[in-house]
Structure 1
Amino acid sequence: MDDMEEIPKKVPRLGLRHLQAGLLFYGLAANTVLQLNVSVAVVAMTNGTTLNNSDPPPYKWSEEKKSYILSSYYWGCALAQFPAGYLCKRFGSKAVLFWGTLGSSLLSALTTYGVYVAGWKAYCAIRLLQGLCQVTWPCIHQHLANWCPTAERTRLGAFAYTGFDCGNVLAMYGAGMIASSSLGWPGISYSAAGLGLIWCGLWLLLGANKASEARFIGEAEKAYIVGDIQRSERKEPKKMEIPWKGIFTSVPVYALLCARCADSWGLTTMQTELPTYLSGVLKLDMESNAVFSALPFLLMWVMCYVYLIIADVLLRKKWMSLTTLRKTYTSIALWAPATIMLSLVFVGEGQKTLVLVLVTLSVGVSSAATIGSELNTIDLSPNHAGILAGLMSSFTNLMALLTPLVVGVLVTDPGQRSQWQVVFSLAAGVLFAGNVIFLIWGTAVTQPWNESKESRRELEPEEKPFQHTKLEIAADNSDGNVVGLKLNCTSP
């Protein structure tokens, strides 16, 4: 697959396809804030770090209860991803993503009241329902497949996915600053709800499932996108059966699944537990915690663009195949954090600056996964990218669900560095193993089951008119001085 084909001169360099990528960026950022601000909120609610004296007293929740709160979102999310892929395929990414984000935003607005009334159990229930509304990943994969021409797939896809990194920064830094302000921890949920609702309005007005359905697109851009996608799909019929057998017997799919699950384990460890680690081991106050919790994800966001520029050059100059690029970037995203996490095990408690540097680097370099493995579903099957993304997200969310529960068992006292050493060692082992599997069996080659059965069906014997015909070369007379050609047809 060549990811850097020529773009026609009449096509605008900045068009509606870029606006769609921008909307996906904002939508992913908003949904990430709705997902991750709980890790800061729980610290604020249990440590009493708000500045408003009228706020309710901090909640005395055990580490076990906090692990339930942190993981409950992923209970619903794991259940939602696979159906979300089907719904996206059936009804289009615009409707599914709109209703999912709207539901999650409204639930976020109800969080404060729910916690006041029923405590941590209500918080778990609300988070579970928000997880059921999380349909972002399958919809983004499908939307990108419908809007990204081959020549711009890596560029637009990687830009859209950096919304995740932006959301991480907003969730960590923004939530920490809000919690330490007069708004207190309730402000975290209200601000996230507002961010999501604003996006819903923009998406409803400007979003479109396909270029052929868009209201504000120019004819040249529409022809470019539709023509390119039709060529990549080999003019497949609009309604295609989902190749379940092909998907579930595909070795590259399982290799990608292992890489995605490993990445999810390592990243979720930092997303959900970093504020607790910084508060417990390094004894940081709320404002400092917010800064140093957000800094790794800020680096992750910046590195995403660095990786994108490098990948763009490598593909344009044809110095790397797409498969090699995916494996190289996945190796950076998994093995580099694994090495850094192992280093954290041996760093002493008095080396606070070195710990903060290592934590920042371990998260920052992992953004290579955006180009390395996250876009690989579109490589394997452009026609069924949403289905594959839903399948991947179901399992990665199971990893995200298990991570806080496992940490809750391993870490009974957040101030004990030795307990966190076990957490980091386990994460490093998972990251290392996931990349080994992807290096061996991963690929960026589009799989045969991406096409319809009609396109893959071989001709039957009666449809092969020259099946029983062969060309013979033989001597034409007894002395062998003349060579003759004879067409021998045994078909009737």
Structure 2
Amino acid sequence: MSTQQIVGDVKKELRFGVRHVQTLLLFFNIVVISISRLNISVAVVAMTNAESTNPNFQEFDWTEQQKSYIISSFYWGYVVTQLPGGYLSRRFGAKIVMSISVFASSVCSLVTPFLVPWGCWQIFSLIRILQGLSQAALFPAIHEHIAKWSPPQERNMLGALAYSGVDCGMVLAMLVSGLIASSALGWPGISYISAGTGFVWCLLWHIFAANNPPTSRFITKAECEYIETSMKREKDFHERKIPVPWLAMFTSMPFLALLVVRCAETWGFSTAQSQIPSYFNGVLNMNIKSNAFFSALPYIARWIMSYIYLFFGNMAVARNWLCLTVVRKIANTMAMWLPALFMIGVGFFDDTNKSWAIALMTMNVGFNGGVTIGCVLSTIDVSPNHAGVVMGIVNTLTNVVSLLTPLVVGFIVTDAHIRSEWQIVFIIAACVFFVGNLIYLIYGTAEAQPWDAPDYLLGNNIKEVPKTARNDKLKRVDDSF
């Protein structure tokens, strides 16, 4: 069957295929884990200011430094198992890795209301560390899954749709968490609902997910062949164990540029994401109900903007206006340099100019949604065959940054009501944004690197390859003549 016939069959029979089901499952996975990860910024405010939510639940007298420990502790565990997560996804498949990760994370959410009153902020930090350990393998597994299920011509769309779950999760974490804390459920309800959604997702994932197209119970032959043929994979591709070219990877400028820009983006985004509720509460004097809505507003804008970026990016590539590398760099520049300006501006407004502060913060986070089709999906571009490992390395470093930013904020901001201290925080984040994107503009690319080829090590390190493999290689060379 020719490629054209396969594509025609898929278009006629499978306008919504199993690959789209996998994308939806990844979308909801990211929503669930984003809620459990990010609701902490609202939960901490509710737990330390019961009068602004539900006074029937216990209130905790935690200092700003102790709250920064709680917020950052998730990343103490999250950073440890990123790289092993990429390896486990390659070794055992994304399905089992993601199932265990989300289930364990949901258990941590479930026990939080029972253990925090007993162990105070120290036990809360420990639970968050364990939750970080549980979730660490997820994004390497997600990238591995996207690489195996998305044909190259659809990867930008399917990857961006899956990653829009981050924005949806943030909206729900900020908006719904505040409403839950103000309801009869109080702040414990934030943890209970987070745990429940995680368990439901695990059930759906177990039923519908598959590590790759050939192992899916629901996929048709036409769609399976379409996906596999579009990626030019041999019949035994999914069973082969391709060695990772570590030296070539870590001496590759596009890979190093990707590390730098992702760390820079994480610094600015983490600063905004984890500190918006505290800034709105401290400087703008907003109570938890209005705080929850206005804390969620920037992420509603980001969610909408991510689809706008995707629409125009796909159109530019499909109509051959721009190559994918240029589209990624334009989107990333808009997503980092514009927010850098907005972030500096936010620090110049106090509670007498709430509308301006909220507007700038909304534009800051909203325009930042372009990083999804910018530097985030470049992780798959530079190395489709090692996507999980590359993401594990990238996420290890970016989450060191996520761990550090709340601590830096806790060191600089001694009193959440002092606007001049927040100005320092925002200026630092803006400078990091600018420098990181500049390096990506110079060295970044959306092209697969030479070291990603399955036989790269065979061709460049022939002395390290077993004799039988060398003979096979020489035979192929002879045959070509």
Change (3 A) 1:372 1:233: farther
% identical aligned pairs = 45
Q: Answer whether contact 2:82 2:393 (CA < 8 A) is retained.
A: yes
CA offset digits 1:214-256 (Å, max 9, x no partner): 0011111011011122359996971111111111111111101
Any conservation in 2 of the 1:71–1:400 contact (CA below 8 Å)? yes
Map Cα deviations across residues 4-32 of structure 1 (whole Å, 9 max, x no partner).
Answer: x9981100121000000000000000000
Whole-angstrom distance in 2 between the partners of 1:348 and 1:193? 37
1:256 aligns with 2:263: no
Q: Which has the higher helix share?
A: 2
Q: What is the letter of the counterpart of residue 415 of structure 1? A: H
Aligned to 1:20: 22
SS at match of 1:114: helix
The residue matched to 1:61 in structure 2 has which SS? Answer: coil
Q: Which residue of 1 aligns with 2:123?
A: 122
Aligned to 2:214: 212
Q: Which residue of 2 aligns with 1:487?
A: none
For 2:54 and 2:452, the matched residues in 1 are separated by: 57
Q: Note closer, same or farther for the CA distance 1:392–1:381 as it changes in structure 2 (3 Å cut).
A: same
Cα distance in structure 1, aligned partners of 2:114 and 2:162: 33
Q: Which residue of 1 aligns with 2:417?
A: 415
Residue 178 of structure 2 is matched in structure 1 by 176
* Cα displacement (A) at 1:89: 0.7
> 2:46 touches 2:53 (CA, 8 Å); kept in 1?
no
Mapped to 2, the partners of 1:234 and 1:454 lie a distance apart of 18
Unaligned ranges ≥5, structure 2? 463-469
Q: Shift in Å at residue 136 of structure 1?
A: 1.9
Distance in 2 between residues matched to 1:445 and 1:51, nearest whole Å: 50
1:255 match: secondary structure? helix
Q: 1:7 to 1:31 in 2, by over 3 A?
A: farther
Work out whether residues 25 and 160 of structure 1, in 8 Å CA contact, stay in contact via their aligned partners in 2.
yes
Count of residue pairs the alignment pairs up: 460
Listed as ranges, the matches of 1:355-366 within 5 Å are: 355-366=357-368
Match of 2:467 in 1: none
Matched, 1:443 2:445: yes
Q: 2:53·2:288 contact (CA, 8 Å) conserved in 1?
A: no
1:251-285 CA-partner distances (Å, limit 9, x unpaired):
11110111111111111111111000000011111
What are the within-5 Å matches in structure 2 for residues 128-143 of structure 1?
Answer: 128-134=129-135, 135-143=137-145
- CA displacement, residues 275-328 of structure 1 (integer Å, 9 cap, x when unaligned): 000000111111100000001001101111111111110010011111111111
Secondary structure (helix, strand or coil) at the match of 2:67 reads: helix
Q: Which amino acid aligns with 1:72?
A: S
Offset from partner CA, 1:182-228 (integer Å, 9 cap, x none)? 11101001110011111000000101000000001111101101112
CA distance, structure 1, for counterparts of residue 239 and residue 200 of structure 2: 36
Residue 226 of structure 1 is matched in structure 2 by 228
Question: Match of 2:48, SS?
Answer: helix
User: Which residue of structure 1 lines up, in the alignment, with residue 346 of structure 2?
Assistant: 344
RMSD: 2.1
Q: Is the 8 A contact 1:50 1:182 kept in 2?
A: no
- CA distance in 2: counterparts of 1:339 and 1:454, whole angstroms: 43
String of CA shifts for 1:393-422, please: whole Å, max 9, x gaps: 001101100000000001010011111000
**For the Cα contact (< 8 Å) 2:258–2:440, is it kept in 1?**
yes
Residues of 2 paired with 1:163 and 1:233: CA distance? 33
The answer to whether the Cα contact below 8 Å between 2:6 and 2:222 also exists between their aligned partners in 1 is no
Alignment deviations for residues 34-71 of structure 1 (CA, whole Å, 9 cap, x no partner): 10111100000111146544312x11100110010000
AA matched with 1:108: S
**Measured at CA, do residues 247 and 232 of structure 1 come closer, stay the same or move farther in structure 2, by a change above 3 Å?**
farther
3-state SS of paired residue (1:346)? coil
- On the 8 A contact 1:233/1:451 being kept in 2, the answer is no
Q: 1:451 offset after TM fit, Å?
A: 1.3
Letter of the 1:105 partner, please give it: S
- Aligned partner letter, 2:414: T
How many Å separate the matches in 2 of 1:344 and 1:270? 11
Matches within 5 A, 1:71-86: 71-86=72-87
1:330 aligned to 325, 329, 332, which one? Answer: 332
Alpha-carbon shift at residue 117 of structure 1 (Å): 1.0
Which is further off, 321-330 or 230-239? 230-239
State how far apart, in whole Å, the 2-side matches of 1:91 and 1:150 are. 24
Q: CA–CA distance in 2 between the matches of 1:370 and 1:13?
A: 24
Whole-Å Cα distance in 2 between the matches of residues 232 and 169 of structure 1? 42
- Which stretch of the first structure deviates more once superposed, 234-243 or 40-49? 234-243
Structure 2 distance, partners of 1:175, 1:42, is 11
Amino acid at match of 2:172: L
Amino acid at match of 1:31: I
For residue 389 of structure 1, what is the aligned residue in structure 2?
A: 391
Alpha-carbon distance in structure 2 between the residues aligned to 1:6 and 1:290: 52
Partner SS, residue 9 of structure 2: coil
Partners of 2:167 and 2:5 in 1: CA distance: 30
1:193 & 1:6 partners in 2: Cα distance?
45
TM-score with structure 2 setting the length: 0.92
Aligned to 1:478: none
State the 1:452 CA deviation. Answer: 2.7
Q: Residues of 2 paired with 1:421 and 1:213: CA distance?
A: 53
Distance 1:137 1:219 in 2: 29
Give the match for residue 187 of structure 2: 185
Kindly indicate whether residue 47 of structure 2 is the aligned counterpart of residue 45 of structure 1: yes
Deviations 1:432-469, CA, capped at 9 Å, x for gaps = 01001101111111111111336862799x9988xxxx
Gap regions ≥5 residues in structure 1: 466-492
Mean Cα displacement is larger for which, 128-137 or 6-15?
6-15
Q: Is the 8 A contact 1:30 1:195 kept in 2?
A: yes
